[in-house]
Amino acid sequence: MATTDVNQDVYAKEVLGLDAGITEDAIDADLVAKANSLGIASSTLQKRNTSSAFSASTFGSTMDQTFSATSSSTHATPRSSIFAASSTDLAHSGAGSFALYDQFIAAADEPLEQVRFRKASLPAANSSAQSLFSVSTHKSFSSVKSGFKSRSWWRKRSDPSLCKQGSHPVGTDCPEDWELEAVKKMGQSTNWKRCHSCHNLVNLPKGATHMICRCKEELCHICGGIWDSTTGCPNLCSNEAELEKRQTGFPNSHVKDGHDGTKPQSAAQKEAEKRTAEKRSLRSPEVQALMGKQALELSRFCAFSARTRSSMQTRHATDKLALLERQAEEDDALKHKHNQASSALEDRQIAAEMELRATLEQTARSVKLRLKHMEAYCQGRAAAAAVTAVTDTETEAAAGRVVTERNLKELGQQYTLRDGMERQQAAKINVMRERQARRMEELLDRHDAEEEALADRQLGESQAQAARCAAEQEVLTGTLRMLQLRLNARWSLQLDVLCREREEAEGLRYGAVATPAWPQEQFYVEQLCRQ
């Protein structure tokens, strides 16, 4: 697997504009030190003093720095500045609260003391102050039962890396899920949720009524509840009247409790002050210059990402072409080898048949020659019987070669051998041809087996190359995503530091400034799996 696709030195020089010898870690350390000196760390880590980690589907091993819940340190990191409080939270964006729904569930299930999923507040249990089997409380006995259940091997264990602190209201995202908050800020959209089953990030596609994760889990895009194909959202988020009630639930409850309009008034004033501070930040020349610098870094990052991806695609295409050429050469070499073997066997078979025919022809000539001599020998007796008067010398000569019955019998056998010789020769030739055909068939079967083995091996090589390319593509996407998250975190902290410096210099409040929005093609987040 190639590891030179993302060159950190080239990235620091071309994207960040750093000189030789200056690393990204060095500028991050300087920025964090400046933020700590301005007191940004305390305000940031008050909302984020818990452990955070990537989900199983992301490359968390490359960014394994987490915040400990028991740590007393207040030093900020470049990544922590963008994960404090998200402006895209449904509870603050007016997407609707679940106060009335929570009150209804509490009133209906009060006799049964039912524990609802993701309750708004859950006090920490002090197990050391109570007896293990105390009869005055149900908590200790339930803790014993939960301890037994957790040790059951057949029970599915939940992932304890998320939501370790107190619960949050129904329909709101976990405030400790900094990855989800970063994705929302970069995407400038709230249509992102984390799947309850596989903990992957899921996006709402255009025109869809609910989210579908790659693990086939269906979620509500408003509250994140498990979507039902028949009834829809279990929290009735699709009902506009119910949403309107939820949106007006908190103000009505506050009025009933005795807060007669003073709190909404102060909230409006705070909102007006917030907008004024944001406008002041946007009008500041220093902030505008920093935003312009960040926009240039964004464009350079996009260009660097495009070049890196193009380089990887070119290398993959070159490797694939080289593999195809090598496989074509192997196919040609195997076919040439098979053709030579078939031709050699065919030549040997033709030579063997010609040799057999020559042998049979020689045998036929020998049989015919012997038959001719036997006929001449036997014909002398018949000629002697036909002649009535011969001289004494001729009679003595004829008496020297006596033709017996045995000679005549052998002559008849020779005639029979001559008559069946052609049929015997044809049978021998046919037997040879059948043997040669079997050998040729066996050779062709071996050739087919070799071709199948070669095809299987080439298919395995192609699949291995495709898997390797996909793995490299995934690693590259994860690396670019980590660089993008780190760059976006640095931008956010730079803006916070600059606004704090302007506040101390001018004595005026500066509002939060949004980081540059990433284009969709550079938004490296796991997209919805296409069905």
CA distance 413 to 405: 12
Would you say residue 151 lies in a domain?
Answer: no
Confidence check: pLDDT of 48 > 70: no
Least confident of 60-69, 185-194, 330-339: 60-69
Residue 328: its pLDDT value, please? 95
As for how many domains the chain has, the answer is: 2
The candidate with the shortest Cα–Cα distance to 394, out of 380, 406, 407, is 380
Burial class (CB within 10 angstroms; exposed 0-12, middle 13-18, buried 19+) of 336: exposed
pLDDT in tens, 463-521: 999 999 999 999 998 899 899 999 999 999 999 999 988 888 888 888 888 888 888 76
Residues 286 and 409 in one domain: no
Q: In this structure, is the dihedral angle defined by the CA atoms of residues 279, 285, 286 and 290, taken in order, positive or negative?
A: positive
- State both tokens at 215: 């693990």
Residue 457: its pLDDT value, please? 94
Segment of 231-240, 355-364, 471-480 carrying the highest mean pLDDT: 471-480
Would you say residue 133 lies in a domain?
Answer: no
Residues 57 and 181 in one domain: yes
415 contacts: CB under 8 Å, gap ≥ 6: 371
More confident site: 216 or 526: 216
Confidence check: pLDDT of 366 > 50: yes
Residue 332: its pLDDT value, please? 94
Would you say residue 427 lies in a domain?
Answer: yes
Residue 529: its pLDDT value, please? 33
Helix axes 249-256, 99-108, angle to 10 degrees: 70
CA distance 531 to 528: 9
Residues 415 and 353 in one domain: yes
Residues 444 and 508 in one domain: no
Label residue 80 by pLDDT band (50, 70, 90).
very low
Which helix H or strand E contains 194, and what residues bound it? strand 192-194
Residues 184 and 86 in one domain: yes
CA distance 44 to 72: 14
Residues 429 and 495 in one domain: no
pLDDT in tens, 328-349: 999 999 999 999 999 999 999 8
Would you say residue 462 lies in a domain?
Answer: yes
Residues 218 and 75 in one domain: yes
Would you say residue 514 lies in a domain?
Answer: yes
CA distance 480 to 6: 8
**Helix (H, G, I), strand (E, B), or coil: what is residue 203?**
strand
DSSP state of 202: E
| pLDDT above 90 coverage of the chain, percent | 18
Residue 239: its pLDDT value, please? 59
Residues 245 and 282 in one domain: yes
Residue 188: its pLDDT value, please? 54
Domain end residue (candidates: 424, 444, 469): 469
Would you say residue 323 lies in a domain?
Answer: no
**Terminal Cα-to-Cα distance of the chain (whole angstroms):** 30
Would you say residue 154 lies in a domain?
Answer: no
Residues 399 and 365 in one domain: yes
Task: Point out which residues pair with 219 in neighbouring strands.
Answer: 211, 226
Residue 74: its pLDDT value, please? 42
CA distance 400 to 404: 12
pTM of the predicted model as reported, rounded to 2 decimal places: 0.53
Residues 337 and 314 in one domain: no
Is residue 31 within 8 Å of 79, Cβ to Cβ? Answer: no
Label residue 274 by pLDDT band (50, 70, 90).
confident
Q: Are strands 211-212 and 201-203 parallel, antiparallel or unpaired?
A: unpaired
Residues 274 and 337 in one domain: no
**Domain that includes residue 73, residue range:** 8-124+160-318+483-522
φ, ψ of residue 234 in degrees (nearest 5): -70, -20
Residues 459 and 498 in one domain: no
CA distance 419 to 425: 11
Least confident of 257-261, 318-322, 345-349, 406-410: 257-261
* 199 backbone φψ class: left, alpha, beta (φ>0; ψ -120 to 50): left
Burial class (CB within 10 angstroms; exposed 0-12, middle 13-18, buried 19+) of 217: middle
Would you say residue 98 lies in a domain?
Answer: yes
